[in-house]
């Protein structure tokens, strides 16, 4: 069974802390994504990676960075957490190419920044 695993279900951090959110997929997918989900705003794409060490900014990359050193792992980094980054963060993965647009999502990490 396909699996996208996010390391933490709930996380509480303080303003100014550096925060790492980890995501691992076991499907050998080329593409990985980080979205944030906020009530009334739906899901918004933060960053996208289409290969190891390759990344593209999404719609709301400000305040975030990413790392993909291995194909199965995609990390989201909040360099200096702020209260407006309190949100649900969803990781997803997929195969590359047209016809492979099915995204597989993790269960999410609810981050609270105090």
What are the residues binding other proteins (CB under 8 A)?
4, 31, 33, 35, 40-45, 48, 50, 56, 58, 90, 92, 94, 96-103, 105-108
| Distance (Å, whole) CA 108 – CA 88 | 6
Least CB distance to other proteins at residue 102 (A): 5
Residue 13 or 95 having the CB closest to other proteins: 95
In contact, 47 and 58? CB cutoff 8 Å: yes
Least Cα distance to 82 among 18, 37, 35 occurs for: 18
Least CB distance to other proteins at residue 95 (A): 9
| Distance (Å, whole) CA 102 – CA 98 | 10
Least CB distance to other proteins at residue 78 (A): 20
């Amino acid at each position: 069974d396909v699996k996208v695993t996010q390391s933490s279900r709930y996380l509480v951090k303080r303003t100014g802390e550096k925060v790492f959110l980890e995501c691992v997929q076991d499907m050998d997918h080329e593409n990985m994504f980080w979205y944030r989900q906020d009530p009334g705003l739906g899901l918004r794409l933060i960053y996208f990676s289409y290969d190891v060490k390759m990344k593209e900014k999404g719609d709301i990359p400000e305040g975030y960075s990413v790392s993909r050193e291995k194909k199965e792992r995609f990390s989201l980094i909040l360099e200096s957490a702020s209260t407006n980054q309190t949100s649900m963060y969803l990781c997803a993965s997929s195969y590359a190419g047209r016809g492979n647009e099915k995204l597989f999502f993790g269960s999410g990490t609810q981050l609270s920044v105090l």
